[in-house]
């Protein structure tokens, strides 16, 4: 990709995953797809975004954001390695450059091991949302998520979860589905429920020796769905199921993985390099450098638009003919098999989560308390999904099945984990 492009308006909405500490991390997770990115940068240098670049990014992000709320996403590597003062400076600069009437929202993805009460108090005071990586009970988590010297991290991450909860910080727990937990769907899910998790993401691992069998991923999601729909609808939000329901309700997907096209979530590295996607941080997908090219031009680059369209345009005929294509749209290109990821089926296709109303009789849907109808998760209006608005008839045994395609995964070109696993 080229770093230059003609003057153009940025997409109406786009996000930036900023990595102020680059790929630097205090852990060495077995399945991490990002640690190897250190090879893109000069050896022996400490990955840390400069104050000048940080301020330029914050200012341009606020200038190019069209809505009433500008979202900032802080990723890594491990962003907390930069210390609390670095993030205090972020907030101060945001307040300096924020236009009147505009609100700012910050999200941080972390492994949680460096969080302490001072961090938690700051995150609460500044209303950060936190994504916390936790793969279930200790026996599922610790073999895969260790420090660089091999120490287990489960105790520290659970402590971080309780700390965030105590200070009232919104916390999404991200659980990578791998060989160590995919065979235990109900014990893993019930452990999260007992812990007090209210927002949960299951992120299937693909293309790694640590990955579980795709069919096992499908069975995991089916088993968890049956447990969740009976006991936890409206109490625990699970991103995978929410995305499936959005399609059933005629709503657009919120997650780029499931949308027909992508390309509106850029990556900003600590040195100013801007890339097409978190899973395509490589020289071929480098759009340019912030400081040499304005953020709006980088987001609107023709190469980036082509990148986003290739997800849809490169779908194989098998996917195009699939009855449930709208639920996944082929998944993330990072998971597609063979040598050319744009023109092959996803390695996780046999586990793709699909909520299919056609597989069940109408009475098996939960009943709307206002209408008594059971014609789908959105009721007769068909225009919104409100988990708290449904009265579940447990004896009816609702069954939303997760269908599967039949292809088997082959070797994949890219070392992949999950979009936000750390």
Catalytic residues: 278
395: number of Cβ within 10 Å: 5
Q: How many CA atoms lie within 13 A of 329 on its CB side?
A: 22
Beta bridge partner(s), residue 105:
71
Cis preceding linkage at 77, omega within 30: yes
Residue 221 · residue 228 · CB < 8 Å:
no
Angle at 131 between CA 129 and CA 136, to 5 degrees: 140
Q: How far apart are the first and last CA of the chain?
A: 27
Query: How far apart are alpha carbons 262 and 312 in whole angstroms?
Result: 9
How far is Cα 350 from Cα 353, in angstroms, rounded to an integer?
Answer: 9
Question: Which residue matches tokens 């009721």?
Answer: 379
Whole-number CA gyration radius for the chain: 21
| DSSP-based three-state secondary structure for 5 | coil
Q: Which helix (H) or strand (E) holds 7?
A: none
- Look at strands 265-269 and 273-275 and give their pairing: antiparallel
- CB of 330 closer than 8 Å to CB of 346: yes
């Amino acid at each position: 990709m080229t770093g230059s492009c003609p003057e153009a308006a940025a997409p109406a909405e786009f996000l930036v995953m900023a990595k102020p500490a680059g790929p630097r991390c205090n852990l060495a997770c077995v399945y991490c797809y990002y640690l190897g990115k250190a090879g893109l940068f000069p050896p022996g240098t400490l990955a840390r975004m400069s104050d000048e670049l940080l301020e330029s990014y914050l200012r341009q992000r606020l200038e190019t954001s069209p809505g009433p709320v500008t979202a900032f996403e802080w990723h890594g590597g491990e962003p907390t390695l930069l210390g609390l003062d670095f993030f205090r400076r972020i907030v101060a600069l945001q307040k300096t450059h924020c236009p009147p009437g505009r609100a700012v929202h910050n999200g941080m993805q972390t492994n949680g091991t460096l969080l302490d009460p001072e961090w938690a108090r700051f995150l609460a005071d500044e209303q950060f949302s936190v994504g916390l990586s936790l793969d279930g009970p200790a026996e599922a988590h610790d073999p895969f998520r260790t420090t660089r010297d091999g120490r287990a991290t489960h105790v520290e991450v659970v402590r971080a979860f309780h700390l965030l909860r105590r200070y009232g910080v919104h916390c999404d727990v991200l659980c990578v589905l791998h060989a160590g937990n995919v065979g235990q769907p109900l014990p893993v899910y019930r452990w999260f429920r007992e812990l007090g998790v209210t927002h949960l993401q299951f992120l299937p691992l693909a293309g790694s020796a640590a990955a579980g069998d795709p069919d096992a991923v499908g069975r995991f999601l089916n088993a968890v769905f049956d447990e969740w729909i009976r006991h936890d609808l409206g109490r625990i939000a699970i991103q995978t199921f929410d995305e499936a329901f959005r399609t059933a309700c005629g709503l657009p997907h919120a997650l780029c993985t499931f949308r027909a096209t992508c390309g509106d979530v850029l990556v900003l590295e600590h040195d100013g390099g801007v890339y097409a996607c978190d899973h395509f941080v490589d020289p071929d997908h480098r759009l340019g450098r912030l400081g040499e090219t304005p953020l709006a031009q980088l987001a609107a680059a023709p190469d980036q638009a082509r990148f986003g369209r290739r997800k849809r345009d490169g779908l194989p005929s098998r996917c195009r003919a699939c009855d449930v294509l709208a639920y996944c749209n082929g998944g993330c290109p990072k998971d597609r098999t063979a040598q050319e990821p744009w023109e092959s089926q996803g390695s996780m296709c046999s586990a793709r989560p699909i909520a299919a109303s056609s597989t069940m009789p109408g009475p098996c849907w939960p009943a709307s308390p206002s209408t008594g109808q059971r014609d789908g998760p959105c009721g007769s209006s068909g225009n919104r999904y409100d988990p708290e608005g449904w009265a579940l008839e447990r004896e009816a045994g609702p069954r939303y099945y997760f269908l599967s395609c039949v292809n088997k995964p082959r070797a994949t070109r890219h070392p992949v984990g999950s979009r936000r696993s750390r």
